[in-house]
Amino acid sequence: MSGRQLNEDLMLDIHNLCISLDSTIRNAIECLDRGEKQIVLVVDSENRLLDTITDGDIRRAILSGLNLDSPVSELRKRRPSSPYPKPVTAHYETDPVDLLGIMEKECVRQIPLLDDADRVVGIITMRDLLRMDSLPLQAVVMAGGYGKRLRPLTEEMPKAMLNVGERPLLESTIGRLRDSGIRRINVSTHYMAEVIEGHFGDGRDFGVEISYVEEDRPLGTAGALGLLSPGEEPILVINGDILTRIDFRSMLDFHQDHGADLTLAVKPYEHQVPYGVVESEGVVLKRIVEKPVFRKFVNAGIYLLNPEVCTKVPNGKSFDMTDLIETLSSEGKKVVCFPVREYWLDIGQMEDYERAQREFTEVFKP
């Protein structure tokens, strides 16, 4: 098949991928979600390419605290020194083998395709070229908790098996992993393990391969990793009480782009003090800030780690993810933060469970 033939087959309505230079970062996020290519094209009135914005650019901006209502031009200013002063592009008739070579050489995953007048007419991704439907990860879902804060609901049912919508929470999580291209899933169990295993079996009825890591006693939030035979693929770890639409493929790209040993998903969290906060030096008043909002990032309970990291987890001993992160940091390993901009909810308490029931249908439309 010729380059022109293949590329025309893979053309899409690039209108969903294009924004103008005066668009806001929030507009770019909306465009990213519509296009589902992990990239946004900044174009002029003639559809000539001015810049590209990737999913990683957006998440780094969130980490830096950049106002999402700022123009997208601010992203270029905040980027570290880039090896690409101009976007990496190709003519739309370029042979697929050559396109793949450009991607590997330039370390990019998407290439805007231009016509003879340098106008954007399409885009091609590494996933398109390699026909990548699977995601090279194995997953571990931590589903062994007692769910004490959700009693009496969890007296006869493990927390991960409580219905959210019309099916168990764990079934929704496994469905999200499957739809992202992850096929190998380990489920860590302890409390009422037989309920989980009886529902999912080996996973074939749910389109995945499920193995169980049964803890004879609670081993903490990372202890199950010490019981795994990790293999060669990165490992995605997710708490069993998380309801989210996080993009696991974007998280893997972010992890690899930053050369991380462990990537921690973090969620922006705001807390407003309902009083005027007084700032002083000794007895001297400096100012009063009325009802300030403090913004921090919190642990989202989702982790991506290289398989060798599992060797840092003691076998059969209680060990938390915080212990693992501290161990890696003390050894000079690279731990990075991946901000979650998608829907995320930790179903830890009754009000969270009730909120999940209210929001599920709207957020997880078929």
Q: How confident is the model at residue 366, as a pLDDT? A: 57
Position 183: which residue type? R
Segment 244-259 mean pLDDT: 92
Q: Is the confidence at residue 36, as pLDDT, over 90?
A: no
What is the H or E stretch that residue 348 is in?
none
Segment 23-43 mean pLDDT: 88
pLDDT digits (tens, 9 = 90+) for 97-129: 888 888 888 888 888 999 888 889 888 888 778
Q: Is the confidence at residue 10, as pLDDT, over 80?
A: no
Q: Map out the domains of the chain with their CATH numbers.
A: 3-130 (3.10.580.10), 138-256+315-363 (3.90.550.10)
Q: Range with the lowest mean pLDDT among 36-50, 78-92, 203-217, 296-310?
A: 78-92
Burial class (CB in 10 A: 0-12, 13-18, 19+), 81: exposed
Q: How confident is the model at residue 305, as a pLDDT? A: 96
Strand pairing report for 138-142 and 235-239: parallel
What angle do helix axes 25-35 and 55-64 make, rounded to 10 degrees? 140
Strand pairing report for 262-272 and 335-339: parallel
pLDDT digits (tens, 9 = 90+) for 148-174: 888 888 888 899 999 998 899 999 999
> What CA dihedral angle connects 91, 92, 98 and 104, to 10 degrees?
80
Q: How confident is the model at residue 184, as a pLDDT? A: 93
Q: Is the confidence at residue 3, as pLDDT, over 50?
A: no
The string of DSSP letters for 212-269 reads: EEE-SS--TTTGGGGG----SS-EEEEETTEEE---HHHHHHHHHHTT-SEEEEEEEE
Q: Range with the lowest mean pLDDT among 2-6, 205-209, 221-225?
A: 2-6
pTM over 0.75: yes
